[in-house]
Amino acid sequence: MTTTVDNAQTATNPTDTLGPVIDDVIRPQAPIIDRDGAFPRPGVDALAAAGLLGLASSTEVGGGGHGMRAVAEVIEGLAAECGSTAMVMLMHYAATAVIEAHGPRDVRAAIAAGDHLTTLAFSEYGSRSHFWSPTGTATAADDDVVRLDARKSWVTSAGEVNSYVWSSLPLTRDAGPMTLWLVPADSAGLSVTGDFDGLGLRGNGSRPMTADGLRVPSAARMAADGAGLDAALGAVLPWFLVLNAAFCLGLADSAVAEAGRHLTRTTLTHTGAALRDAPVTRRDLARLMIRTDALRAFLGDTLTALETGRDDAMLRVLQVKALAGETVADVTDGAMQLCGGSAFRKELGLERRFRDARAARVMAPTTDALHDFVGRVATGLPLLDEANR
């Protein structure tokens, strides 16, 4: 498992850059993106212009050189305002992690410059949320050319990015469980094959894609043939799980803050009392705050474990998304109940956060799968059975 430690001495605080983008673009656009199910292109473009696409890219290629902690703060801030934009960026950063480790310099430099948006293309119809078991194939075609065929079930930002980190079965049988490829978005034979009209995260562009005779140069392979699962577990998974936890934290924290504002400013005309004046209401708000702050503390400890190379870093990474998914579901549900009928109106933004929060439990690896992984690590078993590797 790999991660990058932030260098606060050489890099600008990214939250200083993020704030104006949120105020000017992300927050005003969020209700429109949710209403229309539109991809958050204005927000993504503004984030690119602010240098945030290359936040985690190496300074060697012109990137920000920031590690996971700074990136998590950005995802948390985005999720508090627009879950769809946050998810697009989350998948970009997760894909960037493996591109930084195994991708070509020109693509790394384009990401660093804010000229290249990328994403992961792992989930498939045949294996669903079991991303570690691809069914799509890679076949040697002409000299130095590989043919890819697959039916991807959900790809965030499908049709909107410049490249896809693409998983397949290996070229050589028994080479390993998975091979990763960097697939340009304009590749012939690559198509988006459906639409997304979801309960939440309505603008994240998560749609099915098909590769039908897609051809890429053999140099598009990232890591050795069959070594894609090790690359995914070592480079992608820590970023994906930790940033998902930050995403959940942003949603939960904003829901609690909105509930607190509602309870403070809403009064009962016949008594003159504010909703906050009821002890039971204050108690319920406190419980939501404590749950959210507990997640913040656990996420902070997970980041520290990664940055310091602690022995329990792997366990913490697996635990943090499971904890975050359950926390954000419960907290947003509680905030809806606290605010009553007002929460069902669009103005508060609570019902949007409630819907966006439902994704965390079922996004691969699901909460159930993570509980199994945690149990395996805790009892000395390998993360995956040998048949799945």
Contacts of 183 (CB under 8 A, 6+ apart): 121, 148, 163, 164, 165, 166, 190, 211, 214, 216, 220
Q: What's the angle, vertex CA 5, arms to CA 380 and CA 370, rounded to 5? A: 35
Beta bridge partners of 139: 147
Q: Which CATH number fits domain 229-382: 3.40.50.10240, 2.40.170.20, 1.20.140.10, 3.40.190.10?
A: 1.20.140.10
Omega before residue 365 within 30° of 0, cis: yes
pLDDT at 8: 40
Per-residue confidence (pLDDT) for residue 389, from 0 to 100: 54
Burial class of residue 52 (count of CB atoms within 10 Å of its CB; 0-12, 13-18, 19+): buried
Look up tokens 């493996």; give the residue. 98
From the candidate CATH numbers 1.10.1740.10, 1.10.290.10, 3.10.129.10, 2.40.110.10, the one assigned to the domain spanning 121-225: 2.40.110.10
Q: Spell out the alpha helix ranges (H) of 185-312.
A: 228-231, 237-265, 279-308
∠ CA 71-291-369, nearest 5°, is: 70
Greatest Cα pair distance, the chain, in angstroms, is 81
> Packing angle between helix 83-102 and helix 237-265, nearest 10 degrees?
160
**Token couple for 288:** 């939501």
Among 150, 154, 126, 127, which residue's Cα sits nearest to residue 139?
Answer: 150
Which H helix or E strand runs over 319? helix 313-339
Paired with 176 in beta bridges are none
Round to whole Å and give the CA distance between 245 and 265.
Answer: 30
Each residue's pLDDT, cut to its tens digit, for the chain (389 residues) gives 444 445 443 446 887 899 999 999 999 999 999 999 999 999 999 999 999 999 999 999 999 999 999 999 999 999 999 999 999 999 999 999 999 999 999 999 999 999 999 999 999 988 777 888 899 999 998 889 999 999 999 999 999 999 999 999 999 988 999 999 999 999 999 999 989 999 999 999 999 999 999 999 999 999 999 999 999 999 999 999 999 999 999 999 999 999 999 999 888 888 878 888 889 999 999 999 999 999 999 999 999 999 999 999 999 999 999 999 999 999 999 999 999 999 999 888 999 999 999 999 988 899 999 999 999 999 999 988 765 55
Extents of the domains making up the chain: 14-116, 121-225, 229-382
**14-116 adopts what CATH topology?**
Butyryl-Coa Dehydrogenase, subunit A; domain 1 (1.10.540)
Closest listed residue to residue 335, CA positions, set 285, 371, 267: 285
**pLDDT at residue 5 in the model:** 44
CB within 8 Å of 176: residues ≥ 6 apart: 170, 224, 225, 226, 227, 228, 229, 230, 389
Give the C-alpha separation, 134 to 120, whole Å.
Answer: 13
Say if CB 300 and CB 76 are below 8 A apart: no
Distance between CA atoms of residues 114 and 117, nearest Å: 8
Residue that has been written with the tokens 């009821």 in this structure: 278
Which residues contact residue 300 at a Cβ distance below 8 angstroms, ignoring those fewer than 6 apart?
A: none
Report how far Cα 294 is from the mean position of its chain's Cα atoms. 20
* Orientation angle between helical segments 367-378 and 313-339, nearest 10 degrees: 140
Spatial separation of the C-alpha atoms in residues 193 and 243, rounded to whole Å: 28
Q: Give phi and psi for 3, each to the nearest 5.
A: -155, 175
